[in-house]
């Protein structure tokens, strides 16, 4: 066995092992990125919503002769909304099943599910109108009743959801449960649904007159008090949402958008007497866009959670580079395909940094050196943290000379990048020692390949540190 040395500087023994990671700071970076993308997503839907409303209002200036919405179109939109609200409910249900302390999320899902009860009633009515089995005047009033109580149900359940919301909820599941809120929400949903059905034309003695047809039998006239009651109710629940949640969560911001959309829809409903067709399309379009906003945010956040779970299995929490498990898995896979080059790197005099300045400074040193190394290698190289201050790199090459050039570049960049003063605000200049080994045909064991690179690293440490050493056998 022979060892060839590259580099310079002084001697000391091998450094300590593992350092406690501070996960909180590293997760903050991921959350900031996620919040930024959520903000862009919501801004996109707000722009779409604004453009749609302005475009619709512009079209109302052209008074076409068509003054009613075809029943088949009405049916298609209602069925579409039915499935959209069903998807939202399923997303929130599954999140609640994973985190049963998030009672507010389950109740919010029930609010969307409650909409579908009224949609089923509306679909049945529209189908009757298409088949000419019902009086237009009575059925139009029934549709208005279900439209009115659908919003009343949503407002009531949203209020209960906000009541159960805790802004100080943790990122881990707690044993705290509040089933009483869920039971209350379920009862409210059922009671309002039964009330709406009872007040429809199914029971002539209790029918509630919300609308009436004008003499042209085409234009709907709403009794204005019901619309104002909805506008006031949506405004109050929106105010409560802002006060209770402080719009801290992107989901609540999207629910706030739904509240604003509902207020706008009902304001537009006040002008339904003049432009029934346009106002209907604008109102339903507003509801569809705001619903799509919620679905998009729920889907995006679900995939963010999946990505975090995947990263936690293969990446180091503090540095965000790969962990020991992933490195060995990749090394075994690469060895099965042919020869590979491996580097093992260790930060020189790291124990003294911890002892002198504390673990917080030690963490900063590790993160800074990882950043320098990341900028010194290719994206295709596997860079992993295999110990406290020990790292490993699996190079996408099998040439010894190229591996040594890369190692020298890394060593030099760390030395120059941490020289005082430096952009990382480190208190001392840091150096690293590197052991390099390129596998042979008969090297079938990942542990053996790493042990050879480790032997080269020990030699670099024992011969003065801040060196690159290649292992020959």
Per-residue pLDDT of 216-271, as tens digits, reads 555 567 788 898 999 999 999 999 999 998 877 888 888 999 999 999 888 887 76
Q: Does residue 268 sit in the same domain as residue 390?
A: no
Domain containing residue 392: 2-21+316-472
Same domain, 303 and 337: no
Are residue 424 and residue 359 in the same domain, yes or no?
Answer: yes
Provide the pLDDT for residue 42.
78
26 pLDDT tier (thresholds 50, 70, 90): very low
Q: Domain of 334: which CATH number?
A: 3.30.70.270
Q: Do both 187 and 268 map to the same domain?
A: yes
Together in a domain, 40 and 189: yes
Per-residue pLDDT at 3 exceeds 50: no
337 and 402 belong to one structural domain: yes
pTM comes to: 0.67
Q: Do 246 and 350 belong to one domain? A: no
| Lookup: tokens for 327 | 């490195």
Q: Compute and round to an integer the Cα radius of gyration of the chain.
A: 33
Distance (Å, whole) CA 240 – CA 141: 31
What percentage of residues in the chain have a pLDDT greater than 70? 81
Q: Which residue has the higher pLDDT, 393 or 134?
A: 393
Domain boundary among 290, 314, 338: 314
Instruction: Using the structure block, give the residue that is written with the tokens 């066995």.
Output: 1
Query: Is the model's pLDDT at 16 over the cut of 50?
Result: no
Tell me what pLDDT residue 24 has. Answer: 36
- The phi, psi pair for 170, rounded to 5°, reads -90, 170
Closest CA to 391 of 418, 365, 416, 360: 365
Residues above pLDDT 90, as percent of the chain: 38
Residues 256 and 377 in one domain: no
341-353: pLDDT as tens digits: 999 999 998 988 9
Burial category of 344 from C-beta neighbours within 10 Å (exposed 0-12, middle 13-18, buried 19 and up): buried
Say if residue 371 is in the same domain as residue 308: no
Q: Is 328 exposed, middle or buried (0-12, 13-18, 19+ CB in 10 A)?
A: middle
Instruction: Locate 21 and state its tokens.
Output: 């990671």
Q: Which residue has the higher pLDDT, 131 or 305?
A: 305
Q: Are residues 74 and 46 in the same domain?
A: yes
In this prediction, residue 192 carries a pLDDT of 95
The domain boundary residue, chosen from 268, 288, 314 = 314
Average pLDDT rounded to a whole number, residues 79-102: 89
Residues 94 and 182 reside in one and the same domain: yes
Q: How many CB atoms lie within 10 A of CB 224?
A: 11
Using one digit for the tens of pLDDT, what is the confidence trace for 28-57? Answer: 333 344 466 777 877 888 888 888 778 777
Indicate which CATH number applies to the domain containing 298: 1.20.1070
Of the listed 121, 178, 287, 389, which one is catalytic? 389
Residue 173 appears among annotated catalytic residues: no
Residue 473: pLDDT over 80: no
The per-residue pLDDT for 277 is: 57
Q: Can you give the three-state secondary structure of the chain, one letter per residue?
A: CEEEEEECCCCCCCCCCCCCCCHHHHHHHHHHHHHHHHHHHHHHHHHHHHHHHHHHHHHCCCCCCCCCCCHHHHHHHHHHHHHHHHHHHHHHHHHHHHCCCCHHHHHHHHHHHHHHHHHHHHHHHHHHHHCCCCCHHHHHHHHHHHHHHHHHHHHHHHHHHHHHCCCCCCCCCCCCCCHHHHHHHHHHHHHHHHHHHHHCCCCHHHCCCCEEECCCCCCEEECHHHHHHHHHHHHHHHHHHHHHHCCCCHHHHHHHHHHHHHHHHHHHHCCCCCCHHHHHHHHHHHHHHHHHHHHHHHHHHHHHHHHHHHHHHHECCCCCCEEHHHHHHHHHHHHHHCCCEEEEEEECCHHHHHHHHCHHHHHHHHHHHHHHHHHHCCCCCEEEECCCCEEEEEECCCCHHHHHHHHHHHHHHHHHHCCCCCCCCCCCCCCEEEEEEECCCCCCCHHHHHHHHHHHHHHHHHCCCCEEEEEEC
Boundary-marking domain end, from 295, 314, 333: 314
Residue 374: pLDDT over 90? yes
Tally of structural domains, the chain: 2
Under 8 Å between Cβ of 242 and 251: no
Do residues 155 and 206 both lie within one domain?
yes
Split at pLDDT 50, 70, 90, the class of 95 is confident
């Amino acid at each position: 066995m022979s060892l060839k040395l590259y580099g310079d500087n002084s001697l000391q023994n091998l450094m300590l092992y593992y350092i406690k990671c501070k996960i909180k700071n590293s997760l903050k970076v991921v959350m900031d990125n996620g919040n930024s993308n959520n903000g862009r997503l919501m801004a996109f839907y707000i722009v779409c919503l604004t453009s749609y409303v302005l475009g619709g209002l512009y079209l109302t200036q052209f008074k076409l002769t068509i003054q009613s919405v075809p029943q088949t179109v009405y049916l298609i939109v209602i069925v579409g909304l039915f499935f959209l609200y069903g998807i939202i409910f399923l997303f929130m249900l599954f999140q609640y099943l994973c985190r049963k302390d998030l009672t507010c999320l389950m109740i919010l899902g029930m609010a969307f599910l409650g909409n579908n009860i009224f949609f089923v009633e509306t679909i049945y009515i529209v189908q009757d109108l298409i088949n000419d089995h019902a009086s237009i005047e009575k059925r139009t009033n029934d549709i208005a009743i279900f439209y009115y109580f659908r919003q009343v149900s949503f407002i009531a359940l949203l209020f209960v959801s906000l009541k159960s919301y805790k802004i100080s909820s943790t990122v881990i599941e707690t044993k705290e449960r509040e089933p009483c809120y869920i039971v209350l929400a379920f009862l409210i949903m059922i009671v309002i649904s039964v009330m709406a059905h009872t007040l429809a034309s199914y029971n002539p003695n209790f029918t509630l007159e919300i609308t009436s047809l004008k003499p042209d039998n085409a234009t709907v006239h709403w009794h204005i008090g019901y619309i104002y009651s909805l506008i006031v109710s949506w405004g109050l629940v929106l105010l409560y949402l802002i006060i209770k949640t402080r719009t801290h969560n992107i989901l609540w911001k999207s629910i706030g958008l739904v509240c604003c959309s509902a207020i706008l829809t009902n304001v537009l409903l006040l002008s339904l007497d003049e432009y029934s067709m346009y106002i209907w399309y604008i109102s339903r379009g507003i509801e569809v866009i705001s619903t799509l906003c919620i679905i998009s945010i729920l889907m995006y956040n679900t995939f963010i959670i999946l990505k975090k779970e995947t990263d936690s299995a293969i990446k180091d929490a503090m540095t965000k580079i790969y962990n020991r498990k992933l490195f060995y898995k990749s090394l075994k896979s690469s060895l099965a395909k042919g020869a590979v080059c491996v580097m093992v790197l260790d930060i020189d005099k790291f124990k003294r940094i911890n002892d002198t300045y504390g673990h917080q400074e030690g963490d900063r040193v590790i993160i800074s050196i990882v950043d320098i190394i990341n900028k010194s290698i290719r994206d295709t190289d596997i860079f992993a943290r295999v110990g406290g201050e020990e790292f490993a790199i699996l190079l996408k090459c099998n040439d010894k000379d190229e591996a040594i050039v890369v190692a020298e570049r890394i060593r030099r960049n760390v030395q120059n990048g941490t020289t005082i003063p430096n952009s990382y605000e480190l208190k001392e200049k840091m150096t690293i020692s590197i052991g390099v080994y390129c596998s042979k045909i008969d090297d079938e064991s990942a542990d053996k390949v790493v042990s050879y690179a480790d032997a080269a690293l020990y030699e670099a440490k024992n011969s003065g540190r801040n060196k690159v050493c290649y292992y020959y056998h």
